[in-house]
Structure 1
Amino acid sequence: GIYDMSGNVEEWCSDCYGLYTSSEKINPFANSGSARVSRGGSWSSNAAYSRVACRDFYSPTVTVNCLGFRIARTVP
């Protein structure tokens, strides 16, 4: 359920980090840049960052114990 989406680890996303503009209303996919997006909080986050909407970024080469990924695919 939705309760499994936060609190364990931040989720590593496939898009590169970029600033949102006021014209964008959905999550844009950015495929150029030097940092990758992470979403949500983790077991080490304080209450302000323990939200699904929390957005951060990391270098693609970073290794931290509070960052993971979720395997997902589009239903055919």
Structure 2
Amino acid sequence: MNTNIDLLIEYLPFIAPLILLQIGLAIFSAVHVVRHPHYRFGNRMMWLLVVLLIQWIGPLVYFVFGRGDEHDR
């Protein structure tokens, strides 16, 4: 009978890359929020909270809706 630990070890090769991808996306998005001066909606603190607290969807929402134009720098 599989225990929870055995099940986790069995699926770890599939879960680990997804976890690393999520962490990388969150870090990349957070750095972009801090360095980017213009936003379409909201302010810097709101976007940091969205990026860091709403996993998977937060960084994607930021890059689709929140990021301002690059030539405004």
The structure whose Rg is larger is: 2
Q: TM-score scaled by structure 2?
A: 0.22
Q: TM-score scaled by structure 1?
A: 0.21
